[in-house]
């Protein structure tokens, strides 16, 4: 485990599988730069309906909003159906439309009613593609797509676990898409092995992050000062940040133990994230902090509305997840802000971190090794930190931008609409593709 960074060493690039190419004349950042829908879809203006349980918080929800915005910018029509939530207001900014439906429900009768509602919506609004981002709404969407003959797309935002045949069958709807999108190679391998989705339908499209707002040059000193005051951080401590909702599998307890093993008064860990009603776990964290005498070295900061400032304020960003991350958005965001990262070694880590160059990979559930990695990251001199920051941001810009994600998804839509126009979806499905 060594992090001795020298300038210009990061050349790694992700292989995003086999998404359809961008149309002639579209740049790699075409969706954001104003590529028209004519470029993607041969002059048409497709209507795409995304379905998701709610729009409260999370990576699936962020991807849904980003795609709606990209589609509207490209000249299409974006509809999103969900149970609602605070993120639904963002759709108004892009002139996308939200339709409130109880799509979070797993009740079979509600799923059938939702299928009928979606079918009516598809016919009324002339929907060309329906895109499901979670299992319960995917069942309703799959039924509606079959009734109306439109393409059905799914996105696996996680490798869904199952302990029995009934759960496997429930999950399997996500593998029934005419195109099945996986958010990482790790997830794609799970989808292929567990649900039998072949390369003709499976597309690996990594999540993208907002590299415009996640830019160190855009964060003012005033924002940093305000956040430091809100968190009551002393000026003489180095900051180790762990962003993530307060839930056991995110590994907050492991980081607390690592801070105790560091035995350094000049280091403070900040746990950023809401407990979302998990008050017992929060109380357990507080109790452990007291037991270890770390009241002055660990802060529970709750939800943060300015994560760009939070990343920039930190010296190291940690992801201590006890379970494999399907993608690991936080770690990619931190690298976009030029920060060294420490991550546990499972899930999509091999794709999103260049070990020894943009961060360090440690075993899960090993606070001693994590403490050593934190010490090593904090020991980088100013030249090494600048070199790492430049290469980490370059790595993200080459592989994990929001524009790259949206372009690849638009290309999947275009591919399906072309198939529908040339051979028809019924014939395509009958051929067993």
Helix (H/G/I), strand (E/B), else coil: 23? coil
Phi/psi at 49 (5° precision): -105, 115
Phi/psi at 378 (5° precision): -70, -20
pLDDT at 69: 96
Residues 138 and 90 in one domain: yes
Parallel, antiparallel, or unpaired: how do β-strands 238-243 and 267-272 relate? parallel
| Tens digit of each residue's pLDDT (9 = 90 or more) over 106-163 | 999 999 999 999 999 999 999 999 999 999 999 999 999 999 999 999 999 988 877 7
Residues 165 and 267 in one domain: no
- Contact in structure between 156 and 182 (CB atoms under 8 Å): yes
Residues 224 and 354 in one domain: yes
Is 361 part of a structural domain of the chain? yes
| Tens digit of each residue's pLDDT (9 = 90 or more) over 254-274 | 999 999 999 999 999 999 998
Is 144 part of a structural domain of the chain? yes
Residues 363 and 220 in one domain: yes
| Mean residue pLDDT across the chain | 89
pLDDT at 25: 38
How many residues appear in the chain?
Answer: 433
Residues 290 and 357 in one domain: yes
Q: What order do you get walking across the sheet with 267-272 strand by strand?
A: 298-302, 267-272, 238-243, 316-319, 341-344, 359-362
Residues 125 and 165 in one domain: yes
Is 6 part of a structural domain of the chain? no
215-to-132, 207, 394, 395 alpha-carbon distances in Å = 31, 17, 11, 13
Domain region containing 190: 30-208+401-430
Q: Which residue has the tokens 């790492």?
A: 388
* Mean pLDDT, residues 177-206: 96
In order, the DSSP letters of 416-433 are HHHHHHHT-HHHHHHTT-
Going by the DSSP 8-state scheme, the letter that residue 160 receives in this structure is: -
Q: How many domains does the chain have?
A: 2
pLDDT band at 17; cut points 50, 70, 90: very low
* Angstrom distance (rounded) from CA 246 to CA 298: 14
Residues 239 and 286 in one domain: yes
Is 239 part of a structural domain of the chain? yes
Is 43 part of a structural domain of the chain? yes
Q: Which residue has the tokens 């290469």?
A: 391
Residues 243 and 172 in one domain: no
Is 5 part of a structural domain of the chain? no
pLDDT band at 190; cut points 50, 70, 90: very high
Residues 174 and 294 in one domain: no
Helix (H/G/I), strand (E/B), else coil: 189? helix
pLDDT at 429: 72
Can you read off the two tokens belonging to residue 363? 């075993």
Is 324 part of a structural domain of the chain? yes
- Contact in structure between 153 and 413 (CB atoms under 8 Å): yes
Residues 323 and 270 in one domain: yes
Is 336 part of a structural domain of the chain? yes
pLDDT at 43: 59
Can you read off the two tokens belonging to residue 175? 């593998």
* Mean pLDDT, residues 278-304: 93
pLDDT at 156: 97
Residues 339 and 320 in one domain: yes
pTM value is 0.88
Q: Tell whether the model's pLDDT for residue 284 goes beyond 60.
A: yes
pLDDT at 150: 95
Residues 327 and 415 in one domain: no
Q: The domain that contains 250 carries what CATH number?
A: 3.40.50.2000
Helices (H), 172-297: 185-195, 221-230, 252-262, 279-291
Q: Which residues contact 23 (CB under 8 A, 6 or more apart)?
A: 30, 35, 39, 40, 411, 414
Q: Facing residues of 132 across strands?
A: 51, 154
Q: Facing residues of 129 across strands?
A: 48
């Amino acid at each position: 485990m060594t992090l001795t960074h020298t300038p210009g060493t990061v050349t790694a690039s992700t292989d995003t599988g086999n998404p359809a190419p961008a149309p002639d004349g579209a740049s790699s950042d075409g969706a954001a730069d104003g590529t028209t829908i004519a470029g993607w879809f041969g002059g048409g203006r497709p209507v795409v309906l995304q379905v998701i349980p709610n729009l409260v918080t999370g990576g699936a929800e962020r991807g849904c909003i980003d795609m709606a915005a990209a589609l509207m910018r490209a000249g299409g029509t974006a509809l999103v159906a969900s149970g609602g939530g605070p993120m639904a207001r963002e759709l108004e900014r892009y002139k996308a439309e939200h339709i409130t439906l109880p799509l979070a429900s797993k009740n079979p009768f509600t799923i059938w009613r939702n299928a009928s509602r979606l079918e009516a919506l598809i016919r009324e609004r002339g929907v060309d593609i329906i895109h499901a981002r979670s299992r319960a709404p995917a069942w309703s969407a799959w039924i509606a797509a079959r009734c109306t003959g439109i393409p059905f797309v799914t996105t696996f935002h996680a490798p869904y676990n199952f302990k029995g045949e009934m759960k496997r069958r429930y999950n399997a709807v996500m593998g029934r898409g005419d195109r099945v999108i996986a958010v990482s190679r790790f997830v794609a391998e799970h989808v292929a092995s567990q649900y039998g989705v072949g390369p003709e339908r499976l597309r690996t499209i990594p999540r993208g992050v907002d590299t415009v707002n996640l830019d160190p040059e855009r964060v003012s000193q005033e924002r940093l000062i305000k956040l430091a005051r809100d968190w009551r951080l002393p000026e003489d401590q180095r900051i180790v940040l762990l962003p993530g909702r307060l839930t056991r599998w995110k590994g907050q307890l492991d980081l607390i133990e690592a801070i105790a093993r560091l035995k350094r008064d000049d280091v403070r860990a900040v746990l950023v994230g809401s407990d979302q009603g998990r008050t017992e776990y929060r109380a357990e964290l507080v109790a452990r902090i007291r037991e270890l005498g770390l009241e002055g070295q660990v802060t529970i900061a709750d939800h943060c509305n300015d994560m760009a400032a939070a990343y920039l304020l930190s010296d190291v960003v940690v992801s201590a997840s006890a379970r494999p991350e399907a993608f690991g958005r936080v770690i990619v965001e931190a690298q976009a802000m030029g920060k060294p990262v420490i991550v546990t070694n499972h899930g999509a880590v091999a794709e999103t971190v260049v070990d020894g160059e943009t961060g360090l990979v440690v075993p899960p559930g090993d606070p001693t090794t994590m403490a050593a990695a934190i010490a090593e990251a904090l020991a980088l001199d100013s030249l090494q930190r600048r070199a790492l920051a430049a290469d980490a941001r370059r790595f993200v810009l080459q592989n994990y931008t929001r524009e790259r994600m949206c372009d690849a998804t638009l290309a999947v839509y275009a591919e399906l609409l072309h198939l529908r126009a040339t051979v028809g979806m019924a014939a395509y499905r009958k051929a067993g593709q």
